[in-house]
Structure 1
Amino acid sequence: MTSMRAMVQDQYGAPDEVLHLREVEVPTPAPGEVLVRVRAASVNPDVWHAVSGYPRLMRLMGAGLRRQKQPIPGLDMAGEVEKVGSAVVDFRPGDAVFGETHDRIQWTNGGAYAEYVCVPQHVLALKPENITFEQAGSVPTSGIIALVNLRKHIWSRPGQRIVINGAAGGVGSIAIQMAKAKGAYVVGVDHATKLDYLRTLGADEVMDYTREDVTRLDERFDLIIDVASSLSISDCRRILEPDGIYVMIGHDHYGAKGRRTLGGIPYFLGFMVRARFDRNLDKSWFETMEKRDALEILRDMIEAGQLTPIVGRTFPLAEVPSAIQCLQAGQACGRIVIVP
């Protein structure tokens, strides 16, 4: 085994113009890495950023000025350990694993859109036994985002009233299930075509954002999770309890707002500064979790039946550009997954 198929990116640009399926060498794991046979890899907004090169500031943050330093996109994956580096103690060949492929900024290619990828052992965990590789590959980034943003607020305070805006995507689908597992009352907000899906996830109420404004409800909530990043904190205060919290996940909408150089980074930085002084703004922006720890919590929830990863669509490796376009269109519920 010396070569493999991989989706390769030569430069920044539109996915259908800069991504090409090629035969490349199988990577060799470093001492602390494992070589994983990729069985599934998910598609998320960070992949679009890494491929398109927007916002341009990301290129100065380690991704690469003219092209990605790692030419193979993809960050989340699940698969089987093929080979281990000399310093690896946590895994052995044959283990089924899932996780992200690196612990750098999310807008950096991770090599997952290939038949094999080398991954540091500390960002992997054993795959839950009760789900498929496709489901496991859909979890890492979405699950970690949901967990980091929810655990502080609902783990110690079960039974809260929560709004999740943009609830049908990868992060929202997991957030609904996490909240319900902690006894929350959940209002899920998304497009009319996705409301039945939200009900299947356990949402107590659903709203079509094209026809209703959730911030005009005559109700009060303990927590608002704004996955779509389309609500304003001033509007949200109308429906927040005095000590309620607004959490913005941070979605840049694939450059639709035209901020191609800095993107939403200035706004997010300003939000983080305001959060230090505003009791209604989430302060978990300043908190992190070790990826292994987060993955093990997610695995426990999955194995306990509290969380079921939802795969909206699958695409073969050769159709990665189409999968990214499907993501941008916003039509799929749950996660889109690549199956090499």
Structure 2
Amino acid sequence: MKALFLRRYGDPDFLEIREIERPTPSADRVLVKVRAVSINDWDWGLIQATPMIPNRFMAGLLRPRIVVGSDIAGVVEAVGDTVTEFRPGDAVYGDLSGCGFGGFAEYVSPPQGALRPMGSGMSFAQAAAIPQAGMLALQAVIANGQLRPGQSVLVNGGGGGVGSIAIQLLKMQDVTVTGVDSAAKLDAMRAWGFDHVIDYHAEDFTRRGERYDLIIDVRTDRAPADYERALKPDGCYATVGGQLVNLLRIALSRFRPGRDCHRQLRVIALQPNRDLDRFNGWYEAGSFQPVIDSEFDFNEQDVRRAFRHFGASAHKGKIVVAM
């Protein structure tokens, strides 16, 4: 079978497709023929080997040794002896980041717990666009409990995969949502439902005097005190991405002398696949639709183009590769 490897760290041009042996599912594993896979920040971090910890420890200290890719959708081909949740022919999807990655391959064999049935009517591309971004968005939206109608939320980095999902979940709760991203993405964000949009090149949302009940951050590129300044009393800041050193600053900010203890700063730890059934329900009810920026084919030229597009932060929603 064909699988995507990285010859060395640093650049999408080092990605190459090789022939390897197709896996055989052990007792609790499922063999899936992959039909679509999406790109996430974690995949980009593995290619760049940044941060070194944990990426090089996962992928190989000196040379990368894993098949990248976490979010997949496909069809079950075979199951291990103890698998009870799936059978051949089932359409499934899930996030493989908790079980060794491997999504950019014609076949994968994850534990059954890393997969969920696809929602009725969902395409493979749509399903692959959901798992990691969807779970991060959902966990961030509920980071401070149930939102109340009329509350205000800001999503920093709102034009990417997490933002395109978070806005839909937030609008189910009748809150006012402001999105921050580059000027090229603002029209798309308005179309998704953002009430207000900010070009981060032109304005710093932490210094404009507005305060929010919840801030969801994909970038995490400011000091903890800046985020506190943009929160209402009892407000919550929840980060789902960014450089490791900045995430550590947020995680340790509770110990900072003089901090405002009424404003919470949280780092969201991904809980893979836990609530994908809820996304199935929302999709089937017509209240949620994955936003796909672009689809690429599974060949070296297209895959490299897909990752370069992702690395340029030009995508609006998710980037998907059809297998």
User: TM-score of the superposition, structure 1-length normalised?
Assistant: 0.86
Q: Is the 2:72–2:94 Cα contact (8 Å) retained in structure 1?
A: yes
Alignment partner, residue 72 of structure 2: 77
Task: Please state if 1:90 is matched with 2:73.
Answer: no
For 1:55 and 1:231, the matched residues in 2 are separated by 18
Alignment partner, residue 138 of structure 1: 129
Shift of 1:16: 0.6
Shift of 1:63: 3.1
Alignment partner, residue 13 of structure 1: 10
Of 181, 189, 193 in structure 2, the residue corresponding to residue 190 of structure 1 is: 181
Alignment partner, residue 237 of structure 1: 228
Alignment partner, residue 308 of structure 2: 325
Q: What stretches of structure 2 of length at least 5 have no aligned partner?
A: none
SS in 1 for 2:143: helix
Q: Is the 2:224–2:249 Cα contact (8 Å) retained in structure 1?
A: no
For 1:268 and 1:296, the matched residues in 2 are separated by 29
Q: Name whichever of 60-69 and 295-304 sits farther off.
A: 60-69
For residues 76 and 238 of structure 1, do their structure 2 counterparts lie closer, same or farther at Cα, with a shift above 3 Å needed?
same
For 1:321 and 1:272, the matched residues in 2 are separated by 34
Task: Please state if 1:41 is matched with 2:32.
Answer: no
Q: Is the 1:168–1:333 Cα contact (8 Å) retained in structure 2?
A: yes
For 1:220 and 1:7, the matched residues in 2 are separated by 45
Matches within 5 A, 1:183-332: 183-252=174-243, 264=244, 266-275=245-254, 278-283=261-266, 285=268, 289=271, 291-318=272-299, 319-332=302-315
Q: Is the 1:149–1:284 Cα contact (8 Å) retained in structure 2?
A: no
Q: Is the 1:134–1:339 Cα contact (8 Å) retained in structure 2?
A: yes
**One-letter identity of the residue aligned with 1:269:** L
SS in 1 for 2:132: helix
For residues 185 and 218 of structure 1, do their structure 2 counterparts lie closer, same or farther at Cα, with a shift above 3 Å needed?
same
**One-letter identity of the residue aligned with 1:315:** F
SS in 1 for 2:274: helix
Q: Is the 1:43–1:337 Cα contact (8 Å) retained in structure 2?
A: yes
Q: Is the 1:148–1:284 Cα contact (8 Å) retained in structure 2?
A: no
Q: Is the 1:192–1:208 Cα contact (8 Å) retained in structure 2?
A: yes
Task: Please state if 1:101 is matched with 2:82.
Answer: no
Q: Is the 2:214–2:236 Cα contact (8 Å) retained in structure 1?
A: yes
Deviations 1:175-214 (A, max 9, x none): 1111111221101111112111111211111122222232
SS in 2 for 1:270: helix
For 2:48 and 2:199, the matched residues in 1 are separated by 30
Deviations 1:300-323 (A, max 9, x none): 222222221111011111122221
For 1:102 and 1:28, the matched residues in 2 are separated by 19
Runs of at least 4 residues off by over 4 Å: none
Alignment partner, residue 317 of structure 2: 334
For residues 57 and 305 of structure 1, do their structure 2 counterparts lie closer, same or farther at Cα, with a shift above 3 Å needed?
same
Count of aligned pairs: 317
**One-letter identity of the residue aligned with 1:299:** N
Deviations 1:230-283 (A, max 9, x none): 34432333332111112222223xxxxxxxxxxx2x432232122477432334
Shift of 1:79: 0.8
For residues 241 and 326 of structure 1, do their structure 2 counterparts lie closer, same or farther at Cα, with a shift above 3 Å needed?
same
Shift of 1:150: 1.7
Q: Name whichever of 91-100 and 220-229 sits farther off.
A: 220-229
**One-letter identity of the residue aligned with 2:289:** T
SS in 2 for 1:293: coil
Alignment partner, residue 256 of structure 1: none
| Percent of residue pairs bearing the same amino acid type | 38
Of 172, 177, 199 in structure 1, the residue corresponding to residue 168 of structure 2 is: 177
Deviations 1:58-98 (A, max 9, x none): 2564433223443x211101111111111110011111111
Alignment partner, residue 29 of structure 1: 25
SS in 2 for 1:65: coil
For residues 165 and 59 of structure 1, do their structure 2 counterparts lie closer, same or farther at Cα, with a shift above 3 Å needed?
closer
**One-letter identity of the residue aligned with 1:137:** A
**One-letter identity of the residue aligned with 1:251:** G
CA-based RMSD: 2.1
For residues 21 and 63 of structure 1, do their structure 2 counterparts lie closer, same or farther at Cα, with a shift above 3 Å needed?
closer
Alignment partner, residue 55 of structure 1: 51
For 2:208 and 2:293, the matched residues in 1 are separated by 30
For 2:270 and 2:17, the matched residues in 1 are separated by 35
For 1:60 and 1:68, the matched residues in 2 are separated by 7
